[in-house]
Chains A and B, each alone.
Chain A
Amino acid sequence: MTYFPEEVVEHIFDFLSSHRDRNIVSTVCKAWYRVERLSRRSVFVGNCYAVRPGRVMARFPGMKCLSVKGKPHFADFNLVPHDWGGFALPWIEAAARGCPSLEELRLKRMVVSDESLELLARSFPNFKALVLVSCEGFTTDGLAAIATHCRGLRELDLQENEVEDHGRQWLSCFPDSCTSLESLNFACLKGEVNAGALERLVARCVNLRSLKLNRAISVESLARILARTPHLVELGTGSFTIEHGAEAYQRLIHAFQKCKSLKSLSGFWDVAPRCMQSIYSICPNLTVLNLSYAPAIQGADLVKLIRHCFKLQKLWVLDCIRDKGLAVVASTCKELQELRVFPSDIYGTGTAAVTEEGLVAISSGCSKLNSLLYFCHQMTNAALITVAKNCPHFTRFRLCILDPGKPDPDTNQPLDEGFGAIVRSCKDLRRLSLSGLLTDKVFLYIGEYAARLEMLSIAFAGDSDKGMVYVLNGCKNLRKLEIRDSPFGDAALLENVGKYETMRSLWMSSCDVTLGGCKALAAKMPRLNVEVINDTDESDEMEENPSDMHKVEKMYVYRTLAGARNDAPEFVEIL
């Protein structure tokens, strides 16, 4: 291969689409490293603290797309204190200096300030796409800057961010000359937007294919928008509150009938059940349906709707669909690949909505199922064994039994055998989340059978250090391990320290790891950052020098080339 001119090698590398493949070829020899780095267009940084931003820009000067992830996954569940870190500004600053031809930026779980959005808007003349997922720290003023300055913007996708509302003008900041939008998602914004400006914007952006509105958009406005965007493929509806029989409702039905390309629907925040009839005409074309923000639609109405959706590939619902509803899904949606069932009654004492029966029904009807997130009140080993047999193609399997540490209700046994069956049967499993009563045995099974596992989430499980050691010694492809409230201590942590350099990160909270153990790990492995995160309310009670025997409440370990970070807050100690 080294006899080929560089252009040929580069052309061959063009066929490598995955980051991993490109990373691997760059390690073959210096020549390949050079060709690869100059030709890489899309860079993925899984942990923003693993490498310095400047280093990335220096290595990949031709970069056009950058993806960066910040906080650890458990930050989603409030386990990471608010000011922990994950700032976007250093990345945007470095890109502005080193890669001004940047076109796309994707950030997940990062703190993005208005200042960084303004810098972004002004620094990249070819900027085309901004995707922010689970980020925070910005307001609608930052969005106004993006709308104003990013000529040629194709995509603005805001997913589940916490955005402070500073008024509705931001949308009007898209100039009249802006006609390039293909995807606009502002579903997570709480405030109103200027409806007229929105309608004019979507009318002039003839290539618009994906539009996700926020809850403040009325149904009257939705009807007018749909009339102008008959080629939409994805729609997030907004509140969908209408009087049955009202004129707007009729106009809406009419508009939906014209949207022959609609394949994906979401939103429906305030919809009353009887209004769901308005979408029956589109249901047969739907491949994606997200009703997980619509608690008012109970089982019977959900079922009526789903009976029309026989092409569905991805379905997100609330557990008010009930086991019976899932049975209908199983008999109707033969193409289903991904299912997520969220709990509708997190805080109350409601009736058990879905159980193992629903899951078994789904598994027997939907043989193409490969991704599952299932919140339920109970699960049995027998059910999991059946599911494993029916669906051997799972790549993502996340089961959350709402009551931590709950055993199989039929046999009182832990769920080791059930999960064991899953890992044994699903040879392509990449992501697994465990729940229910579990002993060290389940980890023995995981270590032995889950050869492709990359991410494992453990909560309230295991009996001893052996459990964690089985996983660390067994799962060759493990990248992310997150553990909470499980009896794993220093012996497990220090058993296989080399393993952590092959992984992106390890999170342990409310386990038995001590400060001494963390210090020992940091001392042995200089290329890991061992962060000890103290709860801020505890720090007042804490002594100046806690002893090494002191149990660490939260620990986050990750490999890094950048050394200790300099933006850590007071309550984070980097050993």
Chain B
Amino acid sequence: MDGGVGYADMDALKATELRLGLPGSDPPEKPLPTTTTTTATTARPTKRSLDEDRAARREPSEGGRATSTRATKAQVVGWPPIRSYRKNSFQAMKATAEAAGLYVKVSMDGAPYLRKIDLEVYAGYKELREALEDMFKCFEGCKGSEYAITYEDKDGDLMLVGDVPWEMFTSSCKKLRIIRGAEAIRGLGSSQ
């Protein structure tokens, strides 16, 4: 029904697919609709094309994901159904959280682009490791799971993550680098 591509192939295909989603994110993401209103009337969001949307919706049998419907949809007013109060609080919170954070770049050998994470949200090394695994998991399957997490400190030296107390690490870490494969195994005496 979906054109003869098996599910295993689909995963590999997905991993190399050029799309707006970031690595590690699950099934197709799309820019979700936004409504930005305050109590006073502001510029109204663009109206959705009713007929386009309806036509796309009436074909439930096409593919497992509704990617084609998404492509034709414009922004949808009032969706998802969340109270404006909550949405507004959210935006305010995100703004302050992002402003305050300790953002560092994370690169992984072989990944086409980098990520950025906020070190302040993690309580310690364990949480950091879990978060990084999660973020880059789509690449793990390809090359096996030997890797080492390193960071560049204030002096520009490449250090192994985990040696110093967490607070000292967060205050001296400038960027993170995940080293994979043979290099990682050679570099590490014991694991982590």
Contacts and interface: CB of A to CB of B under 8 A. Distances in A.
Interface string B72-97: 00001111111111110110011011
Contacts of B123: 273-274, 300-301
B82 A78 contact: no
B66 A377 contact: no
A412 interface: yes
A347 B32 contact: yes
Contact of B79 (A136, A404, A463): A404
Interface stretch (B8-16, B33-41, B144-152): B33-41
A74 interface: yes
Interface in A459-481: 459-460, 463
Contacts of B40: 82
Contacts of A160: 83, 85-86
Among B40, B41, B44, B80, the most chain A Cβ lie within 10 Å of the Cβ of B80
Given A295-B94, A407-B64, 17 more contacts: A77-B78, A77-B79, A78-B84, A160-B83, A270-B93, A270-B96, A272-B120, A274-B123, A298-B127, A343-B80, A349-B32, A352-B25, A377-B27, A403-B66, A439-B60, A484-B78, A535-B44
Interface in A279-302: 292-293, 295-296, 298, 300-301
A90 interface: no
Interface string A129-158: 000001010000000000000000000000
B153 to A, nearest CB: 23
Contact of A136 (B39, B48, B94): B39
A350 interface: yes
Nearest to A411: B64
Contacts of B41: 81-82, 536
Contact of B89 (A293, A300, A404, A460): A293
A463 B57 CA distance: 10
Given A349-B25, A351-B25, A78 B54 contact: no
B76 A404 contact: yes
Contacts of A274: 123
A113 interface: no
Contacts of B77: 77-79
A78 B85 contact: no
B155 interface: no
B130 interface: yes
A545 B41 CA distance: 26
Contact of B60 (A134, A292, A407, A487): A407
B80 A400 contact: yes
Interface residues of B, number: 61
B127 A459 contact: no
B82 A460 contact: no
Contacts of B97: 270, 295-296
Nearest to A439: B60
A350 B25 contact: yes
Given A342-B86, A349-B30, A412-B61, A78 B81 contact: no
A104 B78 CA distance: 33
A114 to B, nearest CB: 14
A414 B41 CA distance: 37
A77 B94 contact: no
Contacts of A342: 82, 86
B44 A343 contact: no
A487 to B, nearest CB: 6
Contacts of B80: 343, 346, 375, 400, 402
A567 interface: no
Contacts of B63: 412
Contact of A77 (B64, B81, B131): B81
A188 interface: yes
A487 B26 contact: no
B61 A293 contact: no
Contacts of A510: 48, 50
A180 to B, nearest CB: 29
Interface of A: 74, 76-79, 81-82, 134, 136, 160-162, 188, 269-270, 272-274, 292-293, 295-296, 298, 300-301, 342-343, 346-352, 375, 377-378, 400, 402-407, 409, 412-414, 433, 437, 439, 457, 459-460, 463, 484-485, 487, 510, 535-537, 551
A485 B20 CA distance: 27
A168 B48 CA distance: 42
Contacts of A293: 86, 89, 93
Contacts of B60: 405, 407, 412-414, 437, 439
Given A300-B130, A349-B20, A437-B60, A134 B121 contact: no
Contacts of B53: 485
25 contacts: A74-B78, A76-B83, A77-B77, A82-B40, A136-B39, A162-B38, A270-B93, A293-B89, A295-B97, A296-B97, A296-B121, A298-B131, A346-B32, A346-B80, A346-B90, A349-B32, A351-B26, A352-B26, A403-B30, A403-B70, A405-B66, A412-B60, A437-B60, A535-B47, A536-B44
A351 B134 contact: yes
Contacts of A161: 85
Given A407-B60, A412-B64, A351 B81 contact: no
Contacts of B54: 487
A300 B125 CA distance: 13
A317 B123 CA distance: 20
Interface centre among B27, B37, B131 (most CB of A within 10 A): B27
> Sorted from nearest, which 9 A-B pairs have the closest CB atoms?
A77-B78, A349-B29, A352-B26, A160-B85, A162-B39, A79-B78, A76-B83, A405-B57, A82-B41
Contact of A349 (B31, B64, B85, B130): B31
A335 B87 CA distance: 30
B58 interface: yes
A565 B77 CA distance: 27
Contact of A460 (B57, B84, B121): B57
Contacts of A406: 66
B37 A78 contact: yes
B22 interface: yes
B121 A76 contact: no
A77 B83 contact: yes
